[in-house]
Structure formats: C-alpha cells, structure tokens
C-alpha cells in the first residue's frame, strides 16, 4: 500500500515538474517573440480597461480643448471618407496621439525639447 501511494505521489510530482518546464519554455518563447506580437494582441484586446496599462495625466484647458477638437475632426474625417473605422477615444485616438508624440520626441534634439519644456512651464 505504501508503494502504491509513493508511486502515485511520484507520478504527480513528476507531472508537475514537466508542466513547470513546459511553462518556463513557453514564457521564454513569449519573451523572445518580439514586440509586434504584443502590439497585435494589444489591438485585439476585448476589454482594454482590464488588459491595457493605465496612465493618468493633467492637461491645461487649452491643450484639453485642442485634444477634444482633434478627436472630433478626425472622427468626422473618417466618417466622411466612408472608412469602416469606428473611432474610439480610449482604444484608438489616445494611443495614436501618444505614439505620434513619442515619434516626434525621438526626432527632437535636446535644445528643441528644452525649449518646449521651458515654454510650457511659463504658461
């Protein structure tokens, strides 16, 4: 009877170890698969509020108004162009604004970035 229990326990723990190694191999493959796969799964998220990271920031009234106006203009342009895009602020517009801003920031030299920061501090 003791041997039977020992056999069952050893099989159970042997199986668990196999599962762990499979899991670690999968996680290593996931990490090396690249950012494009993350971007694709990110765009296919069913509930972005649960699956995406949250960022909160504050905007002055002028910038907030400009952001709202830009969203409305893009939404109107897309609807007039008869595209199939149903523009959502959180899913589409805000990530687009951040992505474009990051691209522009990469193009800036330190002097231009400093001037922009100093210009916003004086407002």
Reported confidence tier of residue 110, pLDDT bands at 50, 70, 90: very high
Residue 39 near residue 46 (C-beta atoms within 8 A): no
DSSP state of 89: I
Per-residue confidence (pLDDT) for residue 68, from 0 to 100: 97
Residue 123 near residue 115 (C-beta atoms within 8 A): no
pLDDT in tens, 35-49: 455 555 566 788 888
Please state the domain extents for the chain: 1-33, 38-121
Closest CA relative to residue 123, chosen from 69, 62, 67: 62
Burial class (CB in 10 A: 0-12, 13-18, 19+), 21: exposed
* pTM of the shown model: 0.60
Joined together, the tokens standing for residue 6 give: 């020992």
Closest CA relative to residue 94, chosen from 40, 49, 34: 49
User: What is the CA angle 7-12-18, rounded to 5?
Assistant: 125
Joined together, the tokens standing for residue 113 give: 């970035």
């Amino acid at each position: 009877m003791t041997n039977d229990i020992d056999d069952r326990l050893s099989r159970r723990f042997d199986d668990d170890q196999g599962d762990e190694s499979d899991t670690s191999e999968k996680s290593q493959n996931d990490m090396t698969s690249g950012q494009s796969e993350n971007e694709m799964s990110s765009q296919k998220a069913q509930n972005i509020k649960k699956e995406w990271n949250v960022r909160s920031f504050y905007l002055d009234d002028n910038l907030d108004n400009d952001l709202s106006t830009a969203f409305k203009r893009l939404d109107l342009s897309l609807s007039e162009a008869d595209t199939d895009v149903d523009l959502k602020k959180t899913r589409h517009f805000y990530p687009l604004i951040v992505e474009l801003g990051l691209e522009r920031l990469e193009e800036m030299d330190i002097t231009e970035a400093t001037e922009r920061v100093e210009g916003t501090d004086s407002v």
